[in-house]
Amino acid sequence: MNASGVVAALIPGSSHRWAHVVARNYASTRSAWFATVTGAFEPFLFLASIGIGVSVLVGDVDVDGRTYDYTTFVAPAMLASAAMNGAITEASFNTFGKLRWHRIYHSMTATPLTPTDIAVGEIVYAQLRGTLYSTIFLLAMVVLGLVESWWAVLALPAAVLIGVAFSAAGLAVVTVLRTWQDIDLIVFGQMLLFLFSATFYPLSVYPEPIQMVAQLSPLFHGANLCRDLVLGTVGWYNLINVAVLLGMTVVCSRLAARRFTSLLYK
Amino acid sequence: MTTPIGHRRYPSVGSVQPPAGTWTTPRFVRVVEYHLVGYRRMWRGSIVRIVISPILYLLSMGIGVGSLVDQRGAVDLAGGSYLAFVAPGLMAAAAMQSASAASLYPVLASVKWLRTAYGQVGTPLRPVDLVVGLQAWFAILALAAAIFFTLVLAVFGVVASPLVVLAPLATVLGGLSFSAPLAAWAMSQQDDHKFSVVFRLIVLPMFLLSGVFFPVEQLPAPLEAVAVVAPLWHTIELTRGLTLGTAGMSDFFHVAVLVAYVIAGCLYGKRTYTRRLYP
Amino acid sequence: MDDAGLSVPVAARGLTKTFGSFRAVDDVDFQVQPGEAFGFLGPNGAGKSSTMRMIGCVSPRTAGDLTVFGLDPTRDGSTIRARLGVVPQEDALDVELNVRENLYVYGRFFDLKRSEIRRRTEELLEFTQLTERADDRVEPLSGGMKRRLTIARALINQPDLVLLDEPTTGLDPQARHLVWDRLYRLKQQGATLILTTHYMDEAEQLCDRLVVMDNGRIVDDGSPRALIDRHCTKEVVELRLAATTDLERSAGHLRRDGLEVEVLPDRILIYADDGEAALSFADGVGLRPESALIRRSTLEDVFLALTGRTLVEAG
């Protein structure tokens, strides 16, 4: 089964034409290649800040009886967070402008493309750049000796899954926003997830009730998955991580497609 | 004789004076008023940014990561706890971030998408009034945010000196040291392609590497040299000193550097605004 | 292809579109024949654009029947749109791409082959006189050029039917004539066109047949000539009177003597087969206009006769 077959199975009513939307977005960002290249830089800054700075202050971290250097512990969570941030930024900021001001989507709907095709195209495109960054970052982790297991090969598809899940969510949310001020809500949600998904420290740092809440965060599942794969501590719990992200992808992308349809077919 | 609607009779030669009731305050104040009116419709979003996000950062980084740092106690930090070290840094960084966000898109929008700035220079306002007015407006917003942040610091129990009442002023100065040059630069741009690069190559590296989360002395020498030129480092040093009671003579130097950034930014702004608005 | 589909490009019966309690399109019937230029004439808000959006399969109808190429827009939207060319009221060009890329990307949306698009692009740039701007960004183009590019884009798939929504609104006179010229050539090549307009001169120049719309309803239809003959006299006299004149009273004088008169906010219109005679008659009853103009009746007068309002005023 090819890519559009998989997509059509997950999101009813989509055709192969979403690929044209991806191609259109690619054509429009070629002029902004500098922004694309510098984007790859971002997770390295976090890694540098943690590796050079905070890890010296923190030292080692104990998780489930094993001891890790702080940088080794945080790096996989940075991978997951970067995948999330890239996808949300692309899916929300860029799409919002298109949806509210530019009439690009209106000219697309004059062609055989359907709103569902457009939504799928945007979701796919939004995580493409994130995938590029995740790949670079994962390679850098290997070079810096932050990878402890061959399971880490699966961290890349895991990062892609995180990217798709959050682009779908970002796209679904953006369809109900009205002004740029509303966008602040997305930024706020992003920050909430980034700070409280056991990214910077083990879940055990939180008090018991907050541990329960943190496990509702999709980024927690993404970070946990990446961390277990990179550190080689894979277990049955990771299947739950995957299920949460897959479920989020399917629900949010169908929601986004439905919202696109009602916005573009008035 | 009825009063004509919408226009005044053309004045006779020699009687060209402004009509009564105009320009009693400096012109840039009008620009501040203009921003205030617009702000009434958009304060909701900035409340989230100003009020809630600092608390979340303090909880996650200060207390969460702090629990790991303090349990080890390997490095002697000013103020003792990691929370006390990080808190003033986060306050300074918050000012930098909102100043940067407010200086790029809104400034370009005022000449490119909304074109409101062209309307403003069609009145007695000059480009330089727009420059000063915008910065004055930012100063008001930043002050409100900084005062709130200072109260949060007090609640978290990291305030160690009465000098802390000056900390909001230091943070405002730090914010302007970003907004003045960035607004000037944004005015010279034709599109927003480079804006995200500014965040990635200037704002984010400063946030992560110039002293918010760890002392800059830990950086390799060349990186440290870059970090101490950054306006954020000066703002953090000032704010941290005033909050934790470790302020000293060197803080006058930090003030001087920040003031220089603001003045240079405004002068640069006068140039770019004039070029753009009086083409 | 399906003969039934080609024989009737668009057929509507009882077509209705409501937004909440507002009836934008209210029970309209019409048929568009192959090869004709069909127009919707009416003021802003008459329901023209809503009708166009339903034909373009981007707006589900509330009630009634609508077929495009014999297909159902709700079920076969993509298939129908593959054979349509749409020129929307707002240009909706992709400002992040240059002129050539706009055509290329748009062509890909139709699944056209790359080589095919490249060939068509050169032809269409030539046709719309944009060859020299092919590699320029879209934003700095003039309004007329943008509109021509939008037309070129709509033709990239060699559509069987072209929908034009207010094709020259907002253009200066020179740019309008250039667009009309291109559309006229398209028509001569046998294209089927549907256009909406609130300019009577545009409708007269381009439309073989048109329907007059007002408040979501079709008030009459026919060729421009037939509509004028049906509702108007041969000529119209326009009298502009001094600002202090009571127009209604002056009109009353004329009406008493059996003339057909309309009062507009700034002038009086007299309908007559002989304009000169009517003008001297007005002079006879003591009207002293600041200016007087005798002209042929137009679709504007048809609209006025049908609705009691002018096209501009009604918007």
- What lies within 8 Å, CB to CB, of C243 at 6+ separation is none
State the average pLDDT over residues B104-109.
89
Residues in A touching C111 (Cβ below 8 Å): 17, 20, 112
Q: Is there a contact between B167 and B70 (Cβ–Cβ < 8 Å)?
A: no
Q: Other C-beta atoms within 10 Å of B226: how many?
A: 15
3-state secondary structure A87-132: HHHHHHHHHHHHHHCCCHHHHHCCCCCCHHHHHHHHHHHHHHHHHH
State the average pLDDT over residues B212-231.
90
Q: Is residue B17 in some structural domain?
A: no
User: Does A59 contact B at CB distance below 8 Å?
Assistant: yes
State the average pLDDT over residues B115-138.
87
User: Does A191 contact B at CB distance below 8 Å?
Assistant: yes
Return the CATH number of the domain spanning residue range C233-296: 3.30.70.790
What residue numbers bound the domain in which B205 lies?
27-38+46-67+75-277
Predicted local confidence at residue A1, as pLDDT: 55
| Paired strand residues for C261 | C270
Q: Is there a contact between B224 and B217 (Cβ–Cβ < 8 Å)?
A: yes
State the average pLDDT over residues C200-220.
90
Q: Is there a contact between B258 and B99 (Cβ–Cβ < 8 Å)?
A: no
User: Does A35 contact B at CB distance below 8 Å?
Assistant: yes
Q: Is residue B18 in some structural domain?
A: no
Q: How far is A120 from chain C (nearest CA, A)?
A: 14
* Interchain contact, A110 vs C60, CB within 8 Å: no
**Residue B172 pLDDT more than 80?**
yes
Nearest Cα to Cα of residue A171 among A181, A160, A161, A186: A186
Task: Give the integer Cα–Cα distance in Å for C159 and A28.
Answer: 26
* Interchain contact, C78 vs A28, CB within 8 Å: no
* Interchain contact, C59 vs A265, CB within 8 Å: yes
* Interchain contact, B208 vs A39, CB within 8 Å: no
Q: Which among C78, C104, C108 has CB closest to A114?
A: C78
Residue of C nearest to A19 (CA): C109
A contact test, residue of B68, B72, B196 with most A CBs within 10 A: B68
Query: DSSP letter string over A129-173?
Result: HHHHHHHHHHHHHHHTT----GGGGGHHHHHHHHHHHHHHHHHHH
State the average pLDDT over residues C26-47.
92
State the average pLDDT over residues C179-192.
88
Predicted local confidence at residue C170, as pLDDT: 83
**Residue C172 pLDDT more than 50?**
yes
Cβ-in-10-Å burial (0-12, 13-18, 19+) of A10 comes to middle
**Residue A160 pLDDT more than 70?**
yes
Mean of the per-residue pLDDT values of chain B: 85
Residues in A touching C84 (Cβ below 8 Å): 110
Percent with pLDDT over 70 in chain B: 85
Q: Is residue B2 in some structural domain?
A: no
Predicted local confidence at residue C282, as pLDDT: 82
A contact test, residue of C74, C108, C138, C158 with most A CBs within 10 A: C108
Residues in A touching B42 (Cβ below 8 Å): 179, 181
What's the angle, vertex CA B88, arms to CA B84 and CA B94, rounded to 5? 135
Please state which of the ranges A46-55, A107-116, C238-247 shows the lowest mean pLDDT.
C238-247
Predicted local confidence at residue C3, as pLDDT: 47
Residue C246 identity (one-letter amino acid) = D
**Residue B271 pLDDT more than 90?**
yes
User: Does A212 contact B at CB distance below 8 Å?
Assistant: no
First-last CA distance in chain C: 41
**Residue C107 pLDDT more than 90?**
yes
Q: Is residue B145 in some structural domain?
A: yes
Return the domain boundaries, chain C.
3-223, 233-296
State the average pLDDT over residues B179-190.
95
Q: Where are the beta strands (DSSP E) in chain B?
A: none
Backbone angles phi, psi at A93, to 5 degrees: -60, -55
Please state which of the ranges A28-42, A75-89, B166-180, C267-281 shows the lowest mean pLDDT.
A28-42
Task: Calculate Rg over the CA atoms of chain A.
Answer: 19
Q: Which residues of A fall below an 8 Å CB-CB distance to C?
A: 15, 17, 20, 23-24, 27-29, 31, 102-104, 106-114, 264-266
State the average pLDDT over residues C121-148.
92
Enter the tokens of residue B134. 């915008």
Mean of the per-residue pLDDT values of chain C: 88
Enter the tokens of residue B40. 């009434």
Please state which of the ranges B11-25, C16-30, C230-244 shows the lowest mean pLDDT.
B11-25
- How do residues C290-315 score in pLDDT, each as one tens digit? 888 888 888 888 888 888 777 665 44
Task: Give the integer Cα–Cα distance in Å for B102 and B109.
Answer: 11
Task: Give the integer Cα–Cα distance in Å for C256 and C238.
Answer: 18
Residue C40 identity (one-letter amino acid) = F
Task: Categorize the per-residue pLDDT at A188 as very low, low, confident or very high, splitting at 50, 70 and 90.
Answer: confident
Using DSSP's 3-state secondary structure scheme, residue A45 falls into: helix
**Residue C2 pLDDT more than 70?**
no
Predicted local confidence at residue B11, as pLDDT: 54
As for how many domains chain B has, the answer is: 1
C contact test, residue of A94, A108, A109, A258 with most C CBs within 10 A: A109
Four-residue CA torsion sign, C224, C225, C230, C231: positive
**Residue B14 pLDDT more than 60?**
no
Please state which of the ranges A77-81, B10-14, B231-235, C200-204 shows the lowest mean pLDDT.
B10-14
Four-residue CA torsion sign, A6, A9, A12, A13: positive
- How do residues A4-34 score in pLDDT, each as one tens digit? 788 877 788 788 888 899 888 888 877 667 7
More confident residue, A215 or B8: A215
Helix (H) or strand (E) holding B18: none
Backbone angles phi, psi at C302, to 5 degrees: -60, -45
Q: Is there a contact between B172 and B235 (Cβ–Cβ < 8 Å)?
A: no
**Residue A170 pLDDT more than 60?**
yes
Residues 75-94 of B with CB under 8 A from A: 75, 77, 82
Q: Which among A38, A49, A201 has CB closest to B209?
A: A49
Task: Give the integer Cα–Cα distance in Å for C266 and B248.
Answer: 79
B contact test, residue of A57, A60, A101, A193 with most B CBs within 10 A: A57
Helix (H) or strand (E) holding A176: none
Pick the CATH number of C3-223 from 3.30.420.40, 3.40.190.10, 3.40.50.300, 2.160.20.10: 3.40.50.300
Task: Categorize the per-residue pLDDT at A79 as very low, low, confident or very high, splitting at 50, 70 and 90.
Answer: very high
User: Does C113 contact A at CB distance below 8 Å?
Assistant: no
Predicted local confidence at residue B41, as pLDDT: 64
Enter the tokens of residue C26. 């209210």
Largest CA distance in chain B: 88
- How do residues B16-72 score in pLDDT, each as one tens digit? 555 555 556 777 888 888 887 777 666 666 666 667 877 888 888 888 888 888 877
* Interchain contact, C88 vs A31, CB within 8 Å: no
- What lies within 8 Å, CB to CB, of B179 at 6+ separation is B99, B100, B102, B103, B134, B135, B138, B265
Predicted local confidence at residue C61, as pLDDT: 94
- What lies within 8 Å, CB to CB, of A80 at 6+ separation is A158, A159, A162, A199, A219, A222, A223, A225, A226, A227
CB-defined contacts A:B, below 8 A: 108
B29-to-B21, B25, B128, B173, B270 alpha-carbon distances in Å: 15, 7, 12, 19, 17
Q: Is there a contact between B137 and B28 (Cβ–Cβ < 8 Å)?
A: no
3-state secondary structure chain C: CCHHHHHCCEEEEEEEEEECCEEEEEEEEEEECCCCEEEEECCCCCCHHHHHHHHCCCCCCCEEEEEECCECCCCCHHHHHCCEEEECCCCCCCCCCEHHHHHHHHHHHCCCCHHHHHHHHHHHHHHCCCHHHCCCECCCCCHHHHHHHHHHHHCCCCCCEEEEECCCCCCCHHHHHHHHHHHHHHHHCCCEEEEEECCHHHHHHHCCEEEEEECCEEEEEECHHHHHHHHCCCEEEEEECCCCCCHHHHHHHHHHCCCEEEECCCCEEEEECCHHHHHHHHHHCCCCCCEEEEEECCHHHHHHHHHCCCHHHHC
Mean of the per-residue pLDDT values of chain A: 88
Give me the residue label for tokens 């399969």: C57
More confident residue, B29 or B93: B93
Residue of A nearest to B194 (CA): A35
Residues in B touching A190 (Cβ below 8 Å): none
